[in-house]
Amino acid sequence: MTDFHINFRKIIFLVFFCFIESASATQGASLDELLTCESDRLTIRPLRIADYTAAKDIDELDKSYVTILDQEDETAEFIQSNLNASEQALKAQGKENLTEALLKLPRGMLYYGVHQKDEDKKLVGVILLSTMYSGYCDAEKIDKPFLSTDVKFHKDIQGRGYASEAYNELFKHWMQLKLIPSNESSSDECAFSGIHALIHLTNKASLKCFTMNCGFVIGKLFGHRVDVYYPRVVKPKNPGEFPPFGPETLDQEVRSLFEKYLKKDADV
């Protein structure tokens, strides 16, 4: 056997070995690892028990629009048990069982911590995704719900574009995991229809984050609140189906007004 053939066989073996190692790592990944993603400045990962005190501090600094950890039983232990319950569903089948693992989250709540990628790795924001549980789907008679989201960042770092950066990276990651659709043809194989938020009109920071920076579509106006969702690739089967889809032209009709309303505010 020539040196060429020996070296070629070594290369093939190394490539195959690396492929097997990569596949094994994915199959054995924890829920935390599967759901974690990184942007240029941030690490976005499921909230851990060690993050709870900092997350609670962020939540309590400003309660003008939303509170994320406001229930008495939303303790550090509750958040950890949240992940533990879902972790069990991953042990048998790995990544392919990710949707089932998320549906086993108590109350259908997934808490994300947003950390700066500096030496301190400081927690600077908290994102909540909710209504994942199957009981909700059964009650609303829908196959794939839109997940509701709330977000809060530390007031000292607001205006730096962290919220927009975190959501955009999170959405890209969830599309790769086939949890939310990237286009209409991919919606059938995804776990959820997308992300939904209901925002007060005076909360300009969140409105700009979602509608101007993250591609959310304006669905309906509810008094002083705006219903937005992402992405708009799933069509409702019935007019009253959740989420509350508005007229197809509403976003186009009011977007220019929103841009004028929000243009003087800093990015979030």
User: Which residue's entry shows tokens 């509403």?
Assistant: 250
User: Domains of the chain by range and CATH?
Assistant: 30-262 (3.40.630.30)
Task: Say how far apart CA 133 and CA 46 lie, in whole Å.
Answer: 17
| pTM (global) more than 0.85 | no
Q: What is the 3-state secondary structure (H, E, C) of the chain?
A: CCHHHHHHHHHHHHHHHHHHHHHHHHHCCCHHHHHCEECCCEEEEECCHHHHHHHHHHHHHCCCCCCCCCCCCCCHHHHHHHHHHHHHHHHHHHHHHHHHHHHCCHHHCEEEEEEECCCCCCEEEEEEEECCCHHHHHHHCCCCCEEEEEEEECCCCCCCCHHHHHHHHHHHHHHHCCCCCCCHHHHHHCCCCEEEEEEECCCHHHHHHHHHHCCCEEEEEECCEEEEEECCCCCCCCCCCCCCCCCCCHHHHHHHHHHHHHCCCCCC
Report the candidate in 41, 36, 203, 40 with the shortest Cα–Cα distance to residue 127. Answer: 36
Report the candidate in 37, 246, 236, 229 with the shortest Cα–Cα distance to residue 147. Answer: 229
pLDDT of the residue at 253: 84
Joined together, the tokens standing for residue 112 give 């994300």
Each of the 268 residues of the chain gets a pLDDT tens digit; together they read 555 444 434 333 233 223 223 333 445 577 788 899 999 999 999 988 888 889 889 888 877 777 777 665 566 676 666 666 666 656 654 556 677 777 777 677 888 999 999 867 899 999 999 877 666 666 666 677 788 899 999 988 888 999 999 999 999 999 998 889 887 667 778 888 889 888 999 999 899 999 999 999 888 887 888 888 888 666 656 555 555 556 677 888 888 888 888 876 544 5
